[in-house]
Amino acid sequence: MSTDFTSGPKKRIVITGGSGVVGRYVIQKLLSYGHEILNVDQTPLDNPNVHTLKADLTDGAQAFNALSCHFQISEPFLEEMRTPDVVIHLAGIPQPNRIPDNETFRINTLSSYAIIEAACKLGIKKIILASSITVYGVTYAETNISFPHFPITESTPTEPMDVYATSKVCMERVAASFEKRFRAMGKPVDIYCLRIGAVVTPDRHQEVMTSYLERPREWKVHGWSYIDARDLGNVINRCIETDGLGFEVFNVVNDENTLPDGKAQTIDWLRSFCPETEILDEQALRGQMAPISNEKAKRLLGFREEYPWREERRKWVAREIREER
């Protein structure tokens, strides 16, 4: 499948956390659109086309300087130092229980605050923040709880009980307040928060999708939804190219559910497996549509998936057949 994405003017972009597994694929996708990128991370990125600036983003001064520096090391520095067009904040602790909870909260909230504040005060007009579908409260709950309804949209209540998702809710609230503040000052800024689903990278596509297909009952925690890392890059590129929305929140998932084909009718599965959960919109769950809705990203950003998992599966099944021969 090939999706024809229109590509606007090339941008100077600062990405935080670009050395991570997900960030690498996002950067590669954005480079393919011709954007110029500076990576801000604690560890270097193994990409010769992108310089990494090492910084602790919980320090407001370091965040400010990371958004107001050269994109490459040069002897001498001949290019003028210019403010970037876009900031993409991916950095942070990606799950609870990797480090103590108070540190997860401190790092995630302080770093996101520092980036938002620095970007707004530097006059950067586009800020894209990595939030998470965990804000809906199911993924890292202390017990097996149900989603409040289906489909899950951006208006679904965000009531998590874990520190990771709570830090994301805090980030979204900070973003909304800064957007409102700077709009009132006559200096409008676009801040888009992406509630990203479970990310599937190309190198783990077969492994992850096989687990979804073999054990579908276990994956309510992901809302039987996912996002291909390359399509995450496509969503971010659509955010870069879409101006004037102010503060917005978007679910970032691919179109279809992650259920085996024999169970793939979304609404039938939800009615049998989650009978306690209200169905608000049957039409939105028609066929194999994911229970977490990406309709808003399609409508406001013009997102179109490029890597549907069933098509990707056909590729690796065909590869296995060739290898067996």
Mode of pairing for the β-strands spanning 278-279 and 149-150: parallel
> Is residue 319 in a domain?
no
- Residue 261: what pLDDT? 86
DSSP state of 81: P
Q: Which residue has the higher pLDDT, 218 or 315?
A: 218
Mean pLDDT value across residues 251-274 = 94
DSSP state of 300: I
| pLDDT higher than threshold 80 for residue 234 | yes
- Residue 319: what pLDDT? 78
> Is residue 81 in a domain?
yes
Local confidence band at 324 (pLDDT 50, 70, 90 cut-offs): confident
Give the CATH number of the domain where residue 198 resides: 3.40.50.720
Of the candidates 23, 26, 21, the one whose C-alpha atom is nearest the C-alpha of residue 40 is 23
> Is residue 209 in a domain?
no
- Number of Cβ within a 10 Å radius of residue 204: 13
| pLDDT higher than threshold 70 for residue 2 | no
**8 Å CB contact between 189 and 116:** no
- Residue 72: what pLDDT? 93
Q: How many structural domains compose the chain?
A: 1
Q: What is the mean pLDDT of the chain?
A: 94
> Is residue 265 in a domain?
no
- Give Cβ neighbours of residue 225 (< 8 Å, ≥ 6 apart): 133, 197, 198, 253, 254, 257, 258, 290, 291, 292
> Is residue 126 in a domain?
yes
**pLDDT, tens digit, 9 for 90 and up, residues 113-127:** 999 999 999 999 999
| pLDDT higher than threshold 90 for residue 6 | no
> Is residue 270 in a domain?
no
| pLDDT higher than threshold 80 for residue 92 | yes
Residue 118 structural domain:
12-203+225-254+292-309
**pLDDT, tens digit, 9 for 90 and up, residues 137-156:** 999 999 999 999 999 999 99
Q: Which residue has the higher pLDDT, 193 or 321?
A: 193
**8 Å CB contact between 227 and 252:** yes
- Residue 7: what pLDDT? 60
% of the chain beyond a pLDDT of 70: 98
> Is residue 159 in a domain?
yes
Mean pLDDT value across residues 152-173 = 98
**pLDDT, tens digit, 9 for 90 and up, residues 263-318:** 889 999 999 999 999 999 999 999 999 999 999 999 999 999 999 999 998 888 87
> Is residue 213 in a domain?
no
Mean pLDDT value across residues 187-214 = 96
